[in-house]
Chains A and B, each alone.
Chain A
Amino acid sequence: MSSLQLEIVTPEARIFTGSAQMVIAPGVEGGLGILPDHMPLMTEILPGEVIVTTEDDELSFAVGGGFLEVLPDRVSILTDMAIVEGEIDEKAAEEAVARAEQEMRDKVLSGEELATVQASLLRSLAQLRVKRRSHR
């Protein structure tokens, strides 16, 4: 069976490289499931969950917003955050959510600031979503 080469990178580090059977990513127009020999595609992704099916395992990542490039034999995910499910700190994420919500309530944020807080809120929420789903 053919596989595709997956790469997940953030500005801080290369989070994952390796072959995968299928990649599920949260595209702007809805979830995308990518199998080998997919048509070349370029899209944006939203903060959410990326599920990677490898030969003998299924990995789940919480990702921030970013870009997704698909070539027939390769998928690259560029995002500002990517944490594998096992490494998510639920408590820290909860605190981050609370902090961000607090800031949005208390202060009148403008433009760039607001966008930053909102982005970090979405990132933390994505982490929580991934973590909680796997408990059930």
Chain B
Amino acid sequence: MKPFDVIVIGGGLAGLMAAAVAADNGQRVALLTYGSGSLPLASGAIDFLDAKAPDVAIKNLPAHHPYKKIGLKACDAAAKFFCDVTAKADLPYNGRLSAQIPIVTAVGTLKYSALVPESMDASNLADKKKIFVVEIKGLKDFYAAMIADNLKKIFPDKTFATAKLDLNLLGGRDITCMDAAQIISGNEQILADGLKTLDAGDDDAIIIPPIFGLEGNASRAAIKSQLRAEILETTCLPPSPTGIRLQRAFIKFLQNAGVRIFENSKVVRGVLDGKKVTGVVVENSVREKVFPARKVILATGGFYSGGITMRDFDQPREPIFDLPVFFPTGAENWSNEQLFSDEPQGFSMTGIFTDENLRPIDESGEILFENLHVVGANLGGSDFIFERSAGGVAISSAYKGATS
């Protein structure tokens, strides 16, 4: 096997983005994945930080925060590149780093993100007269009445109406949003006809579960053109069509760019030559296989994805390159028993520290490998979940790592 210019380890958002950026720069790229990544479980909305103006908030972060290494310039460039990738797959996204856009959740609250699929952009909801919430007969886990009740608390001056459409989904298994999206794809008219019966006007909005197909924007476009009211998708329980669309947009981009994607490829260690990584070793059921590379991007995720493991308390490990993992010392700082309080979880700060080019460093700040870049959730120094920065750190660190 000839060496790849870049090998990306990990098929989540950070890995897909890193592979896309590297391939777009004309490099020969391999993406090694183990499991399909968590995008099918996600909304597809990209949060940079829980702040009205994420770009301003990023400037005010402490020096050890990953964003400080990545830099605002790379964050902006990443957001632009991300939107280009989705646009190419006919999956338009709205947003920028200087503001946040609301989307409606599956329980009828509003969640604010920097980059959101156009189909979820609820920016104009405040200007609507009447809001229709529509559930689908037989579709699991979507309750129009609950969503309307909760939205009423945010928009008390608006009129709400709920409706239930029968799209003939019953028969066979319980129907998830993914199933409904699959069935609607290519059979949009039944949904369009159902929505037309609401008689929603120019000043109204219709909120539906995310069922506009699993690829691109075609199903939504076919229905939208027949309605006067604005139509919005919510988030949902997994498997999530809006996250699947994003994953497919990236995979399509990678395939068109000639990136080789190797599934079921669990990397167990690197092939090292001093401070250089010359390849990675994949373990299969009986033997090992070396994939040679000139540059490696580590996008294996944090605790949840096995990118960082911990068998003994206070001994977190990065299992592939055995990189030093930084974590808050003292058991008392590890966890916050008040799970839903407004304080972060100490253990979530665990991760790898890097230089400005996202190369791993040790405690003295020395770079451990010259051509290894760490991106995404295995970066240390912030609680991505608490501060709502996982998506933003994923795409911007991937951009930086792939261009460094």
Bind each other: no
Q: Chain B residues in contact with chain A, CB under 8 A?
A: none
